Structure 1
Amino acid sequence: MTGVGGTTAVRLIRASEDIPVDTPRLPAREAARDELSDPMYHEHDPNLLERGLDRFWDWVGDLFAGAAEAAPGGPLGLVALVLAFVGLAAALWWRLGTPQRAARPPETLFGSTTRGADDHRTAASAHAEAKRWTEAVQERMRALVRSLEDRAVLDPRPGRTADEAAAEAGRLLPAHADRLHAAARVFDDVTYGGRTADESAYTALCTLDLDLGAARPLSAVGRAQGATG
């Protein structure tokens, strides 16, 4: 039998088991934060760059998922749209060629060279034989302008650009003004715009050079009459 003392002890034990352990909330939170701040818990965490990349790829995935839902036909429709865009970009690349660098400001036509027209023509022919059409066009344009200077159609001026030479010569040789301006544009495109010349551009310059050699410029009287007429 259990005596009165034993019964009292059992009651006290049961009562103590029923009393909850109540730890204050704020100290418990601080204790947990201190524990989790230990570096051992973060050895395998991604670094800042990895977290940024993860967010970026999540964004890309969400973007494509949204596009797939919005595209007609679902994912297959999105694939068709992507293929169509790639095909359009390829067609534009083939049609327009490699994107050109921004054109630099026009520089002088002759630079520091002082060669005569025949020397420039010889150099142009050598480049043409080697199918270096860009260099051939440049040298033939220089030969054309130098020839006009030798004939006193243009006053020799070291700092003249191709556009300036075409404009001045066009006023004296109006029948060839359009071709002169076109030749200057070709020279600027291949020299400063990063474009590549071809055989047809070189042949056109050679023909213009020969035609200008046989042309007679307007006299000073004729220019004055044309300006007042």
Structure 2
Amino acid sequence: MTLAAAALLLAGPDAGREEARREAARELLKPVYQHESVLDRMWRTFTQFLGDLLDAGGGTAGGVLSLVLIVVVLVALAALLLWALRRMSRDRGAGAGGVFERGELTAAEHRAAAGRLAAEGDWSSAIRERLRAVARDLEERAIVTPLPGRTAMELADVAGRALPAHAADLRAAARVFDDVTYGEVPGTREAYETMAGLDERLRAARVSLDAGT
């Protein structure tokens, strides 16, 4: 039962709408409402809103209008909940997603896949494959130790210590990878060409003898 309906019962059968609202206000002053949780308060407010809509639809036309409004509100809430769940899932993926998502491929195979995707204009996928080529090449050359589940930014940190001259570019490439993979940012030709250029420079790079482990 909504607060408006409860107030009408408390005020008696002959009470007007104003008296019902006063009864509802007095009801809200009770201690049980002062200590309710935020979720309980939101649910109570929502159910009261629906109850008020139903009360307002006295006639047939009013009842249909109230029903339509209720359906619209429920659809909007469902869409908001779906958006929030997708956002949470994307945020979790951005924090924990590894660079590699499938079986073992060589750096050359990742480069070939990146080239095919770039030729098709699929820049986001091409960027992902090119960074995987970078990661696998660094592992094949023993510049970084293979680590399942390593993220792009973790790769950039480890490789940047071994190749300090390229540390800033590695972090920039990791951010681009995360953006197109988890942030729904569309890939571009320019971003892919930048990633490919970094890959070529890293292939010719030598490990710094002063780098830490």
TM over 0.5: yes
1:6-45 Cα offsets, whole Å, 9 max, x none, are: xxxxxxxxxxxxxxxxxxxxxxxxxxxxxxxxxxxxxx93
Paired residue for 2:59?
45
Paired residue for 2:189?
199
- Please tell me whether residue 218 in structure 1 is matched to residue 208 in structure 2: yes
SS in 2 for 1:157: coil
Task: Determine the C-alpha separation between the residues in 1 that align with 2:65 and 2:168.
Answer: 62
Unaligned runs of 5+ in 2: 1-57, 71-85
- Provide the aligned C-alpha RMSD in A: 2.7
Paired residue for 2:74?
none
Task: Determine the C-alpha separation between the residues in 1 that align with 2:190 and 2:174.
Answer: 15
Task: Determine the C-alpha separation between the residues in 2 that align with 1:158 and 1:150.
Answer: 14
Residues 181, 46 of structure 1: CA spacing in aligned structure 2 closer, same or farther, 3 A cutoff? same
Contact between 1:106 and 1:188, CA under 8 Å: does it hold in 2?
A: no
- Among the aligned pairs, what percent are the same residue? 42
Contact between 1:127 and 1:135, CA under 8 Å: does it hold in 2?
A: yes
**Which of residues 130, 133, 142 is equivalent to 1:140?**
130
Aligned length: 137
Task: Determine the C-alpha separation between the residues in 2 that align with 1:46 and 1:138.
Answer: 58
Please give the residue correspondences for 1:47-196 in structure 2 after superposition, counting only pairs within 5 Å: 49-50=63-64, 52=66, 102-103=90-91, 104=93, 105-196=95-186
1:83-138 Cα offsets, whole Å, 9 max, x none, are: xxxxxxxxxxxxxxxxx955433311112320000000000000011111011000
Task: Determine the C-alpha separation between the residues in 2 that align with 1:111 and 1:117.
Answer: 14
Contact between 2:163 and 2:211, CA under 8 Å: does it hold in 1?
A: no
Provide TM-score, normalisation by structure 1: 0.54
Unaligned runs of 5+ in 1: 1-43, 57-99
Task: Determine the C-alpha separation between the residues in 2 that align with 1:143 and 1:130.
Answer: 18
1:47 positional shift: 5.7
1:50 positional shift: 3.6
1:46 positional shift: 2.3
Letter in 2 for 1:193: G
* Structure number with larger C-alpha Rg: 1
1:136-160 Cα offsets, whole Å, 9 max, x none, are: 0000000001000000000011221
Task: Determine the C-alpha separation between the residues in 2 that align with 1:191 and 1:217.
Answer: 29
Residues 52, 142 of structure 1: CA spacing in aligned structure 2 closer, same or farther, 3 A cutoff? same
